């Protein structure tokens, strides 16, 4: 065969780099835009980057002088649980946050508050006590019951000191 009979090899066309360049540019623009949106507070309400202290934001941490409060301890309550539960007893102890001028009034009705707590804790199902997030709900329920007995202006908060299932 002659050289004329052999077809010329076709040159392979190289793929275009244009889609790669466009993808990189769009990724950089998207990342920059997302950073700007988050840092300026357009998304997620941020933008402080730690410039404010937590005491200004957190209502639990007082920023000024401490309020005029006192604490009244409630006696320990031991409740035997239902036969089907994993635990046999619940040991519960709490303190009450009370305005200083109401301490005598609250101490006078501590037996009634213990009775209300004891009745409430005995009425609970075992599944109510064994759930991981149950303590916050139980705390709110107990505080509400105590405030009904004592009066809302007498008890500000219930602090759980001991909550043991054994």
User: Over the stretch 109-147, which tens digit does the pLDDT of each residue have?
Assistant: 999 999 999 999 998 888 888 787 888 999 999 999 999
User: Over the stretch 137-158, which tens digit does the pLDDT of each residue have?
Assistant: 999 999 999 999 998 789 999 9
Q: pTM for the full model? A: 0.60
Task: Assign residue 41 a region (left: φ > 0; alpha: ψ between -120 and 50; beta: otherwise).
Answer: left
Residue 23 is predicted with a pLDDT of: 92
User: Over the stretch 24-39, which tens digit does the pLDDT of each residue have?
Assistant: 999 999 988 888 888 8
| CATH number of the 69-165 domain | 3.30.479
Please, is 36 exposed, middle or buried when counting C-beta atoms within 10 Å of its C-beta (0-12, 13-18, 19+)?
exposed
| Rounded Cα gap, residues 86 and 127, in angstroms | 9
**Domain positions in the chain:** 17-65, 69-165
């Amino acid at each position: 065969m002659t050289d004329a009979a052999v077809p010329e090899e076709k040159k392979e066309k190289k793929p275009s780099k244009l889609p790669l360049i466009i993808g990189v540019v769009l990724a950089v623009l998207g990342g920059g835009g997302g950073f700007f949106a988050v840092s300026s507070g357009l998304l997620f309400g941020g933008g402080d980057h730690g410039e404010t202290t937590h005491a200004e934001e957190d209502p639990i941490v007082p920023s000024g002088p401490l309020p005029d409060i006192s604490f009244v301890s409630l006696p320990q309550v031991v409740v035997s649980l239902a036969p089907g539960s994993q635990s046999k007893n619940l040991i519960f102890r709490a303190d009450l946050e009370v305005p200083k001028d109401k301490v005598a009034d609250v101490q006078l009705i501590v037996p009634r508050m213990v009775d209300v707590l004891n009745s409430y804790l005995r009425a609970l199902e075992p599944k109510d006590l064994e759930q991981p997030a149950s303590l916050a709900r139980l705390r709110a329920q107990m505080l509400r019951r105590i405030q009904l007995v004592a009066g809302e202006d007498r008890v500000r908060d219930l602090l759980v000191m001991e909550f043991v299932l054994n």
